Structures are given as C-alpha cells and as structure tokens.
Amino acid sequence: MGILSTSVSVTRYRVDGKLEQPIIETASERLKRYAISEMADEASEKLAGWTSFDAPFQPNFDGSSFVIGEYLVFALRIDKKNLPPKTVKKYCAIEEAKRLNESGREYLSRQEREMIEDQVVNTLMMRVPAVPNVYDLVWNYERSTVWFFTTLKAANEELETLFLKSFKVPLVRLFPYTLADLELGLSDTDRDILHNLNATSFSE
C-alpha cells in the first residue's frame, strides 16, 4: 500500500529506542544490509527485506536518498510464491502414477507419498515467480513514531521482526491500551486506574 494512494490504511508504532549516531549513516548501513535481494534462493517460499518507496524493484539506500524532510521514508517488500493446492495435487498424482508404473506395485507408502509431495513442491517453487507486495513506511525519528501503510497482520508481523533485526530497536504497536499508556502523558494514578479497568455494560 503506497503512501500516495488515494485511500490508505495505517498501523501506528512507537519506536522504543534510538539508533547509534550518526543516524542517517547508521540507518543507511542497516537498510542496505537488510535490503531485499533478487539473488535469493529460488526455492524459498517467501522473502522479505527493505526497499526504496519510490523504486521498489531497485532499492537504493545510498547517502540520504531515503530521507525526506525530517522523515525516513522507505518500504517493506515481501515476495511470496503461491502454489495453488490443486496444482500440487495434480503433479503429485502424475508423479505417483509414474512411480507405481515403474515399480509395478499397486500402492505407495505414506512416507513415499510425502517425499513425492516435497519434491513436487520444491520443483514447482523453482518455476513459479514470486508475487511482490510493497508496504510503505514513514519513520519520524525525532518523535520516535513509525507509520506503516497497511493493517495486514502478516505484513505487520514481518515488519516488527525485520525492524528489530535491522535497527536493534523494537517497535511497540499502538492500540488503545498502549496509546493510552504510552502516548497520553497519564499520571501514575491514572495509569493504575487504566491498568485495572474492566469493561462497561451499556445494556443493563
């Protein structure tokens, strides 16, 4: 989901820590290290890495190319291969028939069928192109906030994992409780009350 799309979805995070100084150089080095690679294992099902928001298929993190104003703007790209189950089933059936024909047996063991399925999946994975999905991200370094332009659960989980791995600082997702606890400047008393809240019933 692109930041410049007419309609966007946003998940908000707090960045729980700071990068080593100098910030831009550190961010550039980490983004390059964990940038998505086109040279990855062709049999792998999924690949995720950073990319440029304005050139998602030619990542470039040289200098301050990813800095716009006071923001770090880049994207998470997730390339995923999808094998339709019916296609796997078809090639497994063909391969099983071939094995039975060659061996003259009437049936294959469960273990043999599982091995055939693994081989079929591996072979098909080499041939199927991955589908890329690009999700933009805006990092306001001064305010320690990240806006991630998708609400997809899998993409958010991938972001949280890769962000921590890349920048060594965790992201804390802002949902009602964390927003109240971390962002509203509540007193200790109010935080205690928040912590002990229970749901209200409006129907009684």
Partner 1 sequence: MLDVSVSYNRYKFIGREFLTWLWFAVDTDHQGLEGLFEDPTSVDVGNRMVLENRQREAVETVTIKGDDAGLEEGRLALRKGAAVTEINIVCRRGEQQWQLTLKGESLHMTGLRCPPTGAVETKADLEGAVLEKVYLCDMIIQIVDTLFKAFVEIRLSDDWQNRVVPRIKQWIFA
Where along the sequence are the contacts to partner 1 (CB under 8 A)? 3-4, 6-12, 53-54, 68-69, 71, 73, 138, 147, 151, 172-184, 186, 190, 193-195, 197-203
Least distance (Å) between residue 111 CB and partner 1: 38
Comparison of 50 and 81: residue with beta carbon closer to partner 1 = 50
Shortest spacing between CB 105 and partner 1, in angstroms: 50
| Cβ closest to partner 1, residue 45 vs residue 160 | 160
CB of 4 to partner 1, least distance (A): 6
Neighbours of 129 (CB within 10 A): 8
Rounded least distance, CB 88 to partner 1, Å: 33
What is the DSSP annotation of 33-47?
HTB--TTS-TT-SEE
Q: Which residues 6+ apart lie within 8 Å of 101 measured at CB?
A: none
Question: Which CB atom, from 7 or from 101, has the smaller least distance to partner 1?
Answer: 7
What minimum distance in Å lies between the beta carbon of 70 and partner 1? 9
Nearer to partner 1, 4 or 39 (CB): 4
Q: Do 94 and 101 contact (CB within 8 A), yes or no?
A: no
Query: Distance between the two ends of the chain, CA-based, in angstroms?
Result: 43
177 three-class SS: helix
Round to whole Å and give the CA distance between 125 and 92.
Answer: 14
Give the residue with the Cβ less far from partner 1, 120 or 159.
159
In this structure, what token pair is assigned to residue 174?
Answer: 């802002």
Using DSSP's 3-state secondary structure scheme, residue 75 falls into: strand
